[in-house]
Amino acid sequence: MTTRAAPAAVDLSRRDLTLDLARVVCVLFVIVVHLVQVGIGPGPDGGLVASRPAEEQPWFDAATWVGQIMPLFFVVGGFAAATGWRSWTAKGGDAAGFIRTRTLRLAQPALPLFVFFAVVLGVATAAGLPAQLVSDAAVGAGSPLWFLAAYLLCQAAVPFLAACHARRPVATLVVLALGVIAVDVVRFSSGVEEVGLLNLLFVWPLVQQFGFWYADGWFDRRHPLTLAGIAAACYLLLWPLTAVGPYSTSMLGNLNPPTVPLVVLGIAQACLLRLLKPALARLMSLRAMQGVVFVLGSRLMTIYLWHLPVMLALTGVSLLIPGAAPTPASEAWWWSRPILFVVVLAVLLLLSLAIARWEALGTLGSTPPRAVVALAWVCAFVPPFAVMEWFLDLPIAVGGAVLLAVAVFLLRRRPRAHASVRSEA
């Protein structure tokens, strides 16, 4: 009698689970920020009021020095990119194949969202709903999409920056930092805000580079007091940059286009992440926490991309129920935020069951030619960049859905084999 072998347990011994936890916390914190930033409810005269309650608070700018966690997300992404690239090349993969898979991981989840926006905005326009109301809702729901454009740029740069890091790690940081400073100098001295968009090529790749150093163990080799000192120095540097320099005292105000303060914040957050690693590791040693992080982490793009549409939809439903929608910024409104967070997360998890397959790559054939991969990357990059620059509307939603569909098709299609190869087979 033969017995079936027990399934092999997943080996987590070589995986830094604290970074998985950090990535999940970053996305959940984005939801929290948007829950307190967007207020839609009845006003004193009975009409609908749209406001930004958190930004009206005197503590808001100071809170963003802690609450702006996007630099940390790019640091963690840099760690994942560095380890992923090393694993990919060790198996014989090339740059085109790496960029293909990374682009698909972002383009596939974004495609159903853009289709959803195109349908909803098309129906709202055809139904004759107030144009300003539709516009405000579209702008709010599409605001997180800037991340896709920035992350696509960073992922496409990984093969080149990884090679630079392997040869000249310090010089790579210096060149990127000089690029960040040069763009900001030109932007603020000329008054041309569009110049700041060039920092998409420098700020986030530079912060991602800190993740490369994290993967190399540079932060592990520093004494905790050294890490604490670096973090403190970074926060001290933010004071003259924002109080005397040209930068906003709100770290959200320095986000798009990205600026020098985000780089400084990224260094501080990388140091703090390493300082917290022992405590986070003990937390992640619990099987229950591993399960929570796995469930949320496996649906992270769906949670990030869809949280604002879900939040706005739930707010709309509450407006239809008498007494269910408190006045924004009121005491009842603030107390309702934790409840709404739980409801939003529950709906997102249910939604992910329907669209989870858009996050999974599945089985891919051989990598298409480099020109095809490059064209597909451009098709995936243009829609979120357009939203970042001109905000979401019906034409951008429709055009974005088409371009993302083209990107996914080009990256997933199986190249035809040459006649000689077929004959040999």
The mean pLDDT of 117-121, rounded to a whole number, is 96
Give per-residue pLDDT as tens, 400-413.
Answer: 999 999 999 999 98
Q: How many Å apart are CA 176 and CA 174, to the nearest integer? A: 6
The mean pLDDT of 200-214, rounded to a whole number, is 98
Is the pLDDT at 6 greater than 60? The verdict is no
Look at residue 46 in the predicted model and tell me its pLDDT: 64
**Residue 300 in domain:** yes
Give the residue numbers spanning the domain of 361. 17-413
Q: How many Å apart are CA 327 and CA 337, to the nearest integer? A: 12
**Residue 387 in domain:** yes
**Residue 2 in domain:** no
The mean pLDDT of 250-255, rounded to a whole number, is 94
Per-residue pLDDT band for 396 (boundaries 50, 70, 90) equals very high
**Residue 368 in domain:** yes
Greatest Cα pair distance, the chain, in angstroms, is 81
Look at residue 45 in the predicted model and tell me its pLDDT: 67
Look at residue 420 in the predicted model and tell me its pLDDT: 35
133 or 32: which carries more pLDDT confidence?
32
**Residue 39 in domain:** yes
What six digits make up the tokens of 41? 């409810």
Cα dihedral sign, 26-27-31-33: positive
**Residue 159 in domain:** yes
Q: How many domains does the chain have?
A: 1
Task: State which amino acid sits at residue 259.
Answer: T
What six digits make up the tokens of 385? 């960049």
CB atoms closer than 10 angstroms to residue 423: 8
Least confidently predicted of 43-52, 56-65, 134-143: 43-52
**Residue 94 in domain:** yes
**Residue 422 in domain:** no
Write 91-99 long-range contacts (CB < 8 A, 24+).
Answer: 94/367, 95/159, 95/160, 96/367, 96/368, 96/369, 96/370, 96/373, 97/367, 98/158, 98/159, 99/155, 99/156, 99/158, 99/159, 99/373, 99/377
On the question of a cis peptide bond just before residue 44, with omega within 30 degrees of 0, the verdict is: no
Is the pLDDT at 125 greater than 80? The verdict is yes
Across all residues in the chain, what is the average pLDDT?
Answer: 90
The mean pLDDT of 164-176, rounded to a whole number, is 97
Look at residue 8 in the predicted model and tell me its pLDDT: 42
